A = this chain, B = another copy of it.
């Protein structure tokens, strides 16, 4: 039974707020499989107004979590979007009710491959493969349970942007505005290739144990670190790597003629790999990357992206970053082209920056200003308060 939960009733066990859907409320997946029971961990900020018209759903990226505007109590890491979501910020929690769920298959409280299945054992590879559409279907279950029947806005960056687009395509009547940031409507061959390298690195680690590492009391830390290192390079531009590190040496005057981290960029990458394995589950990485590989919104809606948005009254804004080569401007412009062709209200902002894909998480005034304008304009149109 779906529990109706009011904000005052949310419990925070160890700082993780959750809602559970029982065996009678399975999540039906694109593959035909189903997941039950299903737990969705989520965080909220601000207050839902009386007519429930001020809800904003924030969808997190591959390795993000629900702690968009507050510290993660499990990892101790700070809020991941501190310049975007909060009081007086572009997503103003004084005016909006912000919901951020941990994604399906994740490892911060929402059911995923590290969760216990119906038999009480960790799923491991018995967890069913899912899609971005399934992530969104799970989020829709959460919103229904919270009594939020429509969204003022859905937004996200990277694969969060894919979820935002999926929301607008699957539930056009329930989404007033949609901000898709540094994303794509179809994951490219190059991106599939990079994700496959990461998966192979994880699966090559003998501590992966065919996915059953939890039962063995081990974790494929080395493989997961390599996967993260490879992916992390794609989140930064060549120019930003040159600006931040170039060929500067790490704590030494000359190269070591060996395999230490002679260069700052090596030291930085190793740190990225090491800190990642402390906070992320390897099987979650496999499953979520697979969901993203499978993302091709146009193919899912009759073959063209335009059809996915035909007739939608949602207001769209697509944001991209000039030096992003993970989801480059061309991918984002393709979304805009399809939206325009579908007759939608669509704007496009391309921010000039050398920060690459990760720019959406960093200080980028032009992005913040444009996002603020889009949100406030939509709020005015919707009759919601302005700052």
Where the two chains meet, the residues of A that have a C-beta atom closer than 8 Å to any C-beta of B are 30-31, 33, 125, 128-129, 186-190, 192-194, 196-197, 199-201, 203-206, 222-223, 225-226, 229-230, 233, 238, 241-242, 244-247, 255, 257-259, 261-263, 265-266, 269-270, 273, 286, 290, 293-294, 296, 299, 325, 328
Contacts and interface: CB of A to CB of B under 8 A. Distances in A.
21 contacts: A30-B257, A128-B257, A188-B241, A188-B242, A189-B244, A189-B245, A190-B233, A193-B241, A193-B269, A196-B263, A196-B266, A197-B229, A197-B269, A201-B201, A203-B259, A204-B205, A204-B222, A204-B226, A206-B206, A247-B299, A259-B286
Smallest CB-CB A-B distances: 7 pairs:
A204-B222, A129-B257, A189-B241, A31-B257, A189-B265, A190-B238, A196-B266
Contact of A247 (B129, B186, B233, B238): B186
A212 to B, nearest CB: 14
Contacts of A186: 247
Contacts of A263: 189, 192, 196, 293
Contacts of A255: 294
A193 B233 contact: yes
A229 B200 contact: yes
B259 A192 contact: no
B222 A265 contact: no
Given A196-B266, A204-B222, A262-B293, 13 more contacts: A33-B257, A188-B241, A189-B263, A189-B265, A190-B238, A190-B242, A192-B266, A196-B265, A196-B269, A197-B233, A200-B273, A201-B201, A204-B204
Contacts of A222: 200, 204
Question: Which of A196, A203, A233, A286 has most B Cβ within 10 Å?
Answer: A196
A226 B201 contact: yes
A16 B360 CA distance: 54
A233 to B, nearest CB: 5
A interface secondary structure, majority: helix
B188 A200 contact: no
Contacts of A286: 259
Contacts of A206: 206
Contacts of A294: 255
A293 B229 CA distance: 17
B259 A290 contact: yes
Given A204-B223, A223-B204, A241-B189, A194 B233 contact: yes
A193 B241 CA distance: 9
B226 A192 contact: no
A96 to B, nearest CB: 36
Nearest to A33: B257
Nearest to A234: B233
Nearest to A228: B197
Contacts of A188: 238, 241-242, 247
Contacts of A30: 257
Contacts of A192: 247, 263, 265-266
B296 A247 contact: yes
Contact of A129 (B128, B241, B258): B258
Contacts of A299: 247
A123 to B, nearest CB: 14
A269 B201 CA distance: 13
Nearest to A264: B189
Nearest to A238: B190
A257 B188 CA distance: 18
A214 to B, nearest CB: 18
A286 B88 CA distance: 51
